Amino acid sequence: MTAAEEATVASENGDESGETLELRNIVKTFQKPGQGQILVLDEVDLDVEAGAFISLLGPSGCGKTTLMNVVSGLIEPDGGTMRRGGRDVSPDDLSLGYIFQEPRLLNWKTVAGNIEFALEARDVPEAEWDERIERYLEMVNLADEGDNYPTRLSGGMKQRVAIARALATEPEIMLMDEPFSSLDEITARDLRQELLDIWNREEKTILFVTHDINEAVFLSDYIYMMNTDGEMFARRDIDIDRPRQYDDPDIAQREAELYKEFHEQVVD
């Protein structure tokens, strides 16, 4: 494939740059009542490679969400840089979709209305709305639910709507903060599989937060591991063939290795 053809494919997939987003020396402190200033991100480095599935893994309260919020621009870091293709970038320069632990749908709007709301906020021309709603609801297996209201959907269906809503704005990078942690394991497994199918087909870049080691190993190309001192102490590649199976012994073995590394961090 020529460079021009590659650029066309990248552009069609919503990945305009093909370049790695590089976070360097990100520092964030918070003022906490009774505790004074706490260091939540201690000179954290993170590479978000275009087209990769990347997980941020760490115990509760270690700063995973804070780091996602820095990438998305919801919070301003105290220090550090974000660069791509040799240039400084800000969250405003990035094409991002954010999916949270709770679906955060508007209950007074239909499923389609929720997606329209996001499309309008991103200035997507109205002429494209119907096509996008149909396409992305179909992608998450909710083609018939456009006129339904969120309160009439199960937890798993609501999270599917949240995924469709984020996809519909056609972001380059999807930020997902423990999106399946409030679901039962059977539903979560189905959704992880669907997410991988979409990621594979649409060639999205996904930055995924979890404290579930098995989930991180099953999903990811590589995993960043954080400790409760605000440090990113390791980056580990997951070289297991795809499609992956939950009962693959390689997954169990990698999970055990990563667990051991976490344990050593806590004990040391």
Ligand X SMILES: Nc1ncnc2c1ncn2[C@@H]1O[C@H](COP(=O)(O)OP(=O)(O)OP(=O)(O)O)[C@@H](O)[C@H]1O
Q: Which is nearer to ligand X, 68 or 157 (CB)?
A: 68
Residues 26, 44 contacting (CB under 8 angstroms)? yes
| CA neighbor of 165 nearest in space, from 217, 87, 225, 153 | 153
Binding mask 205-244 for ligand X (x = CB under 6 A): ------x---------------------------------
Q: How far is the CB of 212 from ligand X (least distance, A)?
A: 10
Query: Among residues 23 and 111, whose Cβ is nearest to ligand X?
Result: 23
User: Under rule CB under 6 A, how many of the chain's residues touch ligand X?
Assistant: 12
**In the complex, minimum distance from the CB of residue 140 to ligand X, in angstroms, rounded to a whole number:** 24
Q: Print the binding letters for residues 157-196 with ligand X: x by CB under 6 A, - otherwise.
A: ----------------------------------------
Which 32-71 residues touch ligand X, going by CB under 6 A? Answer: 32, 40, 58, 60-66
DSSP string, the chain: --HHHHHHHHHHTT-S--PPEEEEEEEEEEEETTTEEEEEEEEEEEEE-TT-EEEEE--TTSSHHHHHHHHHTSS--SEEEEEETTEE--GGGS-EEEE-SS----TTS-HHHHHHHHHHHTT--GGGHHHHHHHHHHHTT-TT-TTS-GGGS-HHHHHHHHHHHHHHT--SEEEEESTTTTS-HHHHHHHHHHHHHHHHHHT-EEEEEES-HHHHHHH-SEEEEE-TTS-EEEEEE----SS--TT-HHHHHHHHHHHHHHHHHHH-
Identity of the residue, 153 or 176, whose beta carbon is nearer to ligand X in the bound complex: 176
Q: How far is the CB of 60 from ligand X (least distance, A)?
A: 3
Candidate list 18, 27, 30, 234; residue touching ligand X; CB under 6 A: 30
Least CB distance to ligand X at residue 195 (A)? 19
Amino acid at 96: L
CB nearer to ligand X: give 69 or 114: 69
User: Which of residues 117 and 233 has its CB atom nearest to ligand X in the complex?
Assistant: 233
Residue 229 C-beta: closest distance to ligand X, Å:
11
Shortest distance, position 105 Cβ to ligand X, whole Å = 20
Interface residues with ligand X (CB under 6 A)?
A: 30, 32, 40, 58, 60-66, 211
